[in-house]
């Protein structure tokens, strides 16, 4: 399995994880061993960057930016179009690699690559729509307008749960905007990054793209700290835990740089008495167990009207009994493994805390053992009846643990949903128009994403993706998220033969 995938992308079982987009440098850092949570087998060993490697990549990227920013945006867009075509050609292989290295189901692996293809298509159109505004001047014979220019180096720190898609959200937009990118992938999923780097390098070489536009620097926390503290990097886009995001944000802010943070979620679905319960079941179960609960948009909490609580939780329990847990490359399975043993320990610790704090389980959890579960990373999705005020419920655990609780009024339900530190994704299931509009109003959900009659998980690339509060406030992907990768410039042109001052100020000589 692993050998076939590595061969398809020209990846060695042991190789450097540092690339300038044209040359793979001799990495001087520590080895990162990628082990699949599916079967506990080693996929490849990747040598990480040391500080000299990092500085060398930065220098190449700085030089590349001087040329790349002058390429017309539609020409840059055509390069991204070709990347999309290359991803289409490699969708099956790359999707399998994503599934095998990260552990998500094969369908989700394919879906992640499709998301990359979709953002390429979006970015191609965007390359002809980097619009500025034209404004009327108060001074005669003057014209005012604003335009957008690229920032320079965009550093991308991605997480293991979407090892390639979130990188593409950032890089494709950054490239059409005229930036160059340096990617630090998660040390838990470095091989998928190597594969993407190989794909992009082939496209770039065929189009004589300057070396340094697409760079890869594998490493751990220290590498991310280099990026966060580097004044040569105007924008750091980081996806991960709230703890990590606070560290990155503080470091970048201290040097007055820009950060784009996509952090934790503690997402809830409100299940109204007027909900279509059958439809709600699909959204709730996929949201809770998809990617084994390791999405930032995973459904963590169900806030259920007391009148339908018993009926809906009975449906949930029955649905959970039908879940198939196992090798994610087998398309019959719904749920794959957690990423590693640390994630398993966090899952078990959370279950213990739920019990200590007074919760009870409608569906018990536990670690699966026996044939097919030798990696020790397969766990049972579980359902716990809790109160929203429990300390553990306020915390995000990256695992398939679903909390259920009751409410009486919609105002109470919205308050419960908002009463957590995170603010990423939210949803209400209702056929009542008034409830839907109240949920979407300024007095409703405080999250960056608020849905009606769909779950919290599975955002499309056309809309801006991101959240509020401890989720970081960043926006990636669609809408006008491209503005995060550019600097705004206001221009005034005087085409008259006089120099009047604004605000009617007189300054005669």
DSSP per position, 397-443: -SSSEEEEEEESSHHHHHHHHH-SSEESEEEEE-S-HHHHHHHHSTT
State the alpha helices, DSSP H only, in 208-328: 221-228, 242-254, 277-289, 309-320
d(CA 456, CA 280): 11
Report percent pLDDT > 90 for the chain.
97
**CATH code of 254's domain:** 3.40.605.10
Q: Number of folded domains in the chain? A: 2
Per the structure, the complete domain to which residue 153 belongs is given by 2-263+472-489
Instruction: Output the pLDDT for position 209.
Output: 98
- The 10s digit of each residue's pLDDT in 4-41 is 888 889 999 999 999 999 999 999 999 999 999 999 99
Look at residues 121, 192, 109 and name the one whose alpha carbon lies nearest to residue 158: 192
Are 205 and 324 within one domain? no
Are 125 and 239 within one domain? yes
Pair 272, 430: CB distance under 8 Å: yes
Pair 255, 226: CB distance under 8 Å: no
Task: Specify the pTM.
Answer: 0.97
Q: Is 222 a catalytic residue?
A: no
3-state secondary structure of 228: helix
3-state secondary structure of 10: coil
Q: Distance of CA 447 to CAs 201, 237, 390, 412, Å?
A: 38, 20, 21, 16
- For residue 495, being part of any structural domain is answered with no
- For residue 335, being part of any structural domain is answered with yes
Are 197 and 298 within one domain? no
326 Cβ contact list (under 8 Å, min separation 6): 333, 335, 336, 372, 373, 378
Assign 3-state DSSP to the chain and report helix, strand, coil percentages, each to 5.
40, 20, 40
Evaluate if residue 1 carries a pLDDT over 80: no
Q: Tell me what the pLDDT averaged over the chain comes to.
A: 97
- The 10s digit of each residue's pLDDT in 280-307 is 999 999 999 999 999 999 999 999 999 9
Pair 294, 338: CB distance under 8 Å: yes
Among residues 201, 262, 470, 476, the one annotated as catalytic is 262
Instruction: Output the pLDDT for position 393.
Output: 98
**CATH code of 367's domain:** 3.40.309.10
Evaluate if residue 441 carries a pLDDT over 70: yes
């Amino acid at each position: 399995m692993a050998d076939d995938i590595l061969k398809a992308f020209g990846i060695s079982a042991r190789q450097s994880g540092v690339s300038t987009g044209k040359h793979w440098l001799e990495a001087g850092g520590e080895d990162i061993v990628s082990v699949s949570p599916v079967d506990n087998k080693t996929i490849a060993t990747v040598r990480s960057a040391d500080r000299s490697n990092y500085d060398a990549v930065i220098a190449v990227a700085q030089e590349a930016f001087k040329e790349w920013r002058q390429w017309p945006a539609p020409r840059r867009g055509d390069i991204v179009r070709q990347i999309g075509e290359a991803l289409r050609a490699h969708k099956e292989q790359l999707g399998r690699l994503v599934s095998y290295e990260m552990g998500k189901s094969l369908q989700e692996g394919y879906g992640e690559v499709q998301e990359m293809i979709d953002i390429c298509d979006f970015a191609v159109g965007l390359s002809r729509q980097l619009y500025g505004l034209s404004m009327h001047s108060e001074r005669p014979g003057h014209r005012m307008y604003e335009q957008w220019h690229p920032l320079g180096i965009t550093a991308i720190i991605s997480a293991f749960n979407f090892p390639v898609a979130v990188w593409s959200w950032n890089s494709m937009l950054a490239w059409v905007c005229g930036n160059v990118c340096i990617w630090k992938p998660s040390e838990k999923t470095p091989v998928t990054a190597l594969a993407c780097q190989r794909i992009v390098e082939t496209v770039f070489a065929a189009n004589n793209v300057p070396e340094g536009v697409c760079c890869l620097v594998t490493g751990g926390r220290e590498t991310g700290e280099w990026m966060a503290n580097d004044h040569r990097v105007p924008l750091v886009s980081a996806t991960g835990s709230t703890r990590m995001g606070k560290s990155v944000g503080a470091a970048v802010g201290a040097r007055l740089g820009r950060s784009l943070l996509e952090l934790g979620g503690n997402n809830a679905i409100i299940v109204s008495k007027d909900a279509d319960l059958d439809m709600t079941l699909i959204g709730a179960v996929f949201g809770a167990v998809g990617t084994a609960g390791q999405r930032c948009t995973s459904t963590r909490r169900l806030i259920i009207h007391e009148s339908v609580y018993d009926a809906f939780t009975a449906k949930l329990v029955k649905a959970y009994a039908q879940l198939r847990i196992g090798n994610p490359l087998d398309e019959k399975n719904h749920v794959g493994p957690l990423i590693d043993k640390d994630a398993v320990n966090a899952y078990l610790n959370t279950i213990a805390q739920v019990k200590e704090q007074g919760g009870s389980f409608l569906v018990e959890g536990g670690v699966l053992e026996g044939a097919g579960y030798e990696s020790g990373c397969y766990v049972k999705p579980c359902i716990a009846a809790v109160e929203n005020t429990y300390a553990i419920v306020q915390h995000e655990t990256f695992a398939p643990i679903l909390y259920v609780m009751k409410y009486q009024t919609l105002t109470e339900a919205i308050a419960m949903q908002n009463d957590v530190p995170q603010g990423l994704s939210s949803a209400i299931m209702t056929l009542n128009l008034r409830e839907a509009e109240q949920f979407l109003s300024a007095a409703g959900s405080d999250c960056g994403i608020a849905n009606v009659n769909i779950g919290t998980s599975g955002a499309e690339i056309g809309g801006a993706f991101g959240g509020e509060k401890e989720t970081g406030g960043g926006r990636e992907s669609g809408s006008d998220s491209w503005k995060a990768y550019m600097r705004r410039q206001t221009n005034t042109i005087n085409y008259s033969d006089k120099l009047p001052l604004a605000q009617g100020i007189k300054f005669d000589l």
